[in-house]
A and B are shown apart, each in its own frame.
Chain A
Amino acid sequence: EDQVTQSPEALRLQEGESSSLNCSYTVSGLRGLFWYRQDPGKGPEFLFTLYSAGEEKEKERLKATLTKKESFLHITAPKPEDSATYLCAVADDKIIFGKGTRLHILP
């Protein structure tokens, strides 16, 4: 069965304290892996698409990486405005979403 597992479920960091979020997946034929940011009461906002192992993409304080079994979202020197839920999704012949990691950055 295709699965997407995100860890941790929740993460609290001090402002400036770097860390990583994990997305592990088991799908038969990966076509792409997506990262989204979701603020409370709003729809998810697209961040990155990764297609193949070894690929990396960056946007401001965020960097996404991909291996054959998992993806990491690295957050460098986070600020309080980075607080949100981060969703991972993988695509083979359909798109499967993980449950997300709730990130809270303390000032």
Chain B
Amino acid sequence: DGGITQSPKYLFRKEGQNVTLSCEQNLNHDAMYWYRQDPGQGLRLIYYSQIVNDFQKGDIAEGYSVSREKKESFPLTVTSAQKNPTAFYLCASSPYPVRLAGTNTNYGYTFGSGTRLTVV
């Protein structure tokens, strides 16, 4: 079955460490996204990629980095510069980016199961 796989499910980071969250999809989707979810807040966009070897900053990119070397993979690195990294991280994909979609086109997101990152 096609879908998005995020790993690990739980991740613990020590102060000053960089950690990388994995996101792999086999849906043949062009666009991929990373969101952060905190209690009582909506999903906030960290980074997104519309095509291989290209990515754009979202609303809260500071302290994070990404790469998109393959269509199927969009890993997120949480660097030591991110001062409050404890959160639930969600990866998503869509067939094509929203701004390139026409009306009445199904470009809804498919989400992974998430990674919960905790600073220890």
Contacts and interface: CB of A to CB of B under 8 A. Distances in A.
Interface residues of B, number: 26
Interface stretch (A12-20, A75-83, A97-105): A97-105
Nearest to B44: A97
A31 B42 contact: no
Contacts, number: 59
A45 interface: yes
A89 B98 CA distance: 12
A103 B95 CA distance: 30
Contact of B109 (A95, A96, A98, A100): A95
Given A31-B101, A32-B107, A94-B99, A43 B113 contact: yes
Contacts of B116: 41
Interface string A14-34: 000000000000000001101
B108 interface: yes
Given A41-B116, A46-B109, A46-B110, 7 more contacts: A34-B109, A42-B113, A42-B114, A49-B108, A94-B98, A96-B42, A98-B42
Please list the 8 inter-chain residue pairs (A to B) with the smallest Cβ-Cβ separation, ordered nearest first.
Answer: A43-B111, A97-B43, A97-B42, A99-B42, A93-B99, A44-B111, A43-B113, A91-B98
Interface of B: 4, 6, 35, 40-43, 45, 88, 90, 92, 98-99, 101, 103-104, 106-114, 116
